[in-house]
């Protein structure tokens, strides 16, 4: 093994310092990218949107790690204002099947925050009960969710925030949209 003198060490040390600087910058860049990706992942898991079959968009302020009694802002835009809808938490069913196990039930008093009727053309008995769509077929409600719907435990079963055609179009499945929801176990 040869021992290097001062004159021979200077270029070696200079290259090592330059290489260290490059590695440090690269490390900082990777760390920043990881931090940005983590922030994006956090955002993606706490708010979610889905596009329906007619181009309408359903969004919820939270879809994972949901707590019992949590208030979730559910909003939509681009909905057909001639079709009334229900917004509620239901046990997931296969596509084409009307969800039947839903929290909130029929909100005949308009006082429950577990289900909502959105309609701009409600029959006379629905005036003051149904919430009219806003401009552009939009709406926003605060849905209070519980992990149990009767005997169904949404911490074990798959449940979702559903939008479906109201009771005036009970058999119309073309307006069904679901946004899966995960409760804290």
Q: Based on the domain organization, do 115 and 78 belong to the same domain?
A: yes
39 and 80, same structural domain? no
Q: Is 13 in the same domain as 52?
A: no
Backbone angles phi and psi of 16, in degrees to 5: -65, -40
- Condensed to tens digits (0 to 9), the pLDDT of residues 5-42 reads 555 544 544 454 443 443 333 333 333 444 333 333 33
Q: What is the pLDDT of residue 64?
A: 92
Q: Are residues 41 and 56 in the same domain?
A: no
Query: Which residues 6+ apart lie within 8 Å of 32 measured at CB?
Result: none
Statement to judge: residues 92 and 126 lie in one domain? yes
CATH number of the domain enclosing 81: 2.60.40.230
Q: Each residue of 118-177: pLDDT tens digit?
A: 999 988 888 888 999 999 999 999 999 999 998 999 999 999 999 988 887 877 877 889
pLDDT in tens, 51-87: 999 999 999 999 999 999 999 999 999 999 999 999 9
**Alpha helices in 2-145, H assignment, sequence order:** 6-46
How many structural domains is the chain composed of? 2
Partners of 125 in the beta sheet? Answer: none
Range(s) of the domain holding residue 22: 1-45
The enclosing H or E element of 37 equals helix 6-46
């Amino acid at each position: 093994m040869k021992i290097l003198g001062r004159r021979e060490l200077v270029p070696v040390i200079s290259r090592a310092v330059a290489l260290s600087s490059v590695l440090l910058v690269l490390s900082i860049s990777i760390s920043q990218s990881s931090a940005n990706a983590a922030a994006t992942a956090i955002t993606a898991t706490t708010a979610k949107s889905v596009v329906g079959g007619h181009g309408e968009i359903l969004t919820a302020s939270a879809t994972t790690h949901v707590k019992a009694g949590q208030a979730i802002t559910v909003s939509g835009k681009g909905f057909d204002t001639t079709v009334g809808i229900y917004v509620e938490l239901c046990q997931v069913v296969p596509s084409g099947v009307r969800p039947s196990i839903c929290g909130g039930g029929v909100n005949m008093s308009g006082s429950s925050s577990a289900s909502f009727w959105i309609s701009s053309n409600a029959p006379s008995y629905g005036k003051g009960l149904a919430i009219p769509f806003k401009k552009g077929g939009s709406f926003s409600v605060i849905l209070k969710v519980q992990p149990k719907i009767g005997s169904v435990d949404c911490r074990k079963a798959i449940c979702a925030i559903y939008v479906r055609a109201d009771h005036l179009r009970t058999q119309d499945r073309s307006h069904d949209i679901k946004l899966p929801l995960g409760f804290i176990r």
